[in-house]
Amino acid sequence: MSAWPRAAELGLIGCHVCGQVCSMTDADDGALACPRCGSTLHRRKPAAYARCWALLIAAFLMYIPANILPIMRTASLGDIDDNTILSGVVELWVKGSPGLAVIVFCASIVVPMLKFLALGTLLISSRRGSNWARRQRTQLYRLVELIGYWSMLDVFVVALLTALVRFGYFSLVEPLPGVVFFGLTVVLTMFASMCFDPRLIWDGKEDSDD
């Protein structure tokens, strides 16, 4: 036993729904119901690896057309311009908004890529039962959860511009298919991080549980 006893060693199990800590004595894994919300208790989230990998791969597949297809069309006095994420960042920079360009670039390009890399690293290292930097990997997972919502910034920008920039025939902003794929990317990565069980980080090869 380590210096600090683990929940399994103390006969405790946490509810994935409401967080209630319950005793799992006289009950096998998955056979006990939470006394607070009635949900079935599991020592680890069922099929956490498979679900997280499936959602992460799907998010990456959605991320490809999200960057290739235009996300927004601006029309002003007969001039029509379709912008992808990167071309929109460049246009913001050129037109004198470097701060906003950096924010959009970080939220739309850097954050999704870091989430892919972080979740992939967590999945591979946990599946292999690695003892490497467990505390740091747990903190990395918490950081992925914290910054995940900020990836929706591009979607919010397009939605706000579409709603606000309405000047009749003089100017028009409308969303294009790329923003749909980008929104799906963000949602799928959020679901992937929710499906991952950070307690798997602390499981060794001898007690890893899918």
In the structure encoding, which two tokens stand for residue 172, read together?
């028009």
First-to-final CA distance of the chain: 22
pLDDT surpasses 60 at 26: no
Q: What is the reported pLDDT for 85? A: 82
Q: What is the rounded CA–CA span in Å between residue 111 and residue 151?
A: 7
Mean pLDDT of the chain: 77
Question: What integer is the mean pLDDT of 68-93?
Answer: 78
pLDDT surpasses 60 at 95: yes
Among the listed ranges 59-73, 144-158, 173-187, which one has the minimum average pLDDT value? 144-158
Confidence of residue 1 (pLDDT cuts 50, 70, 90): very low
Q: What is the rounded CA–CA span in Å between residue 141 and residue 72?
A: 32
Question: What integer is the mean pLDDT of 111-137?
Answer: 87
Which stretches of 69-196 are DSSP H helices? 85-94, 98-105, 111-127, 134-147, 153-164, 177-195
Q: What is the reported pLDDT for 209? A: 41
Confidence of residue 31 (pLDDT cuts 50, 70, 90): low
Largest CA distance in the chain: 74
In the structure encoding, which two tokens stand for residue 177, read together?
């298919």
Q: What is the reported pLDDT for 110? A: 85
Q: What is the reported pLDDT for 210? A: 39
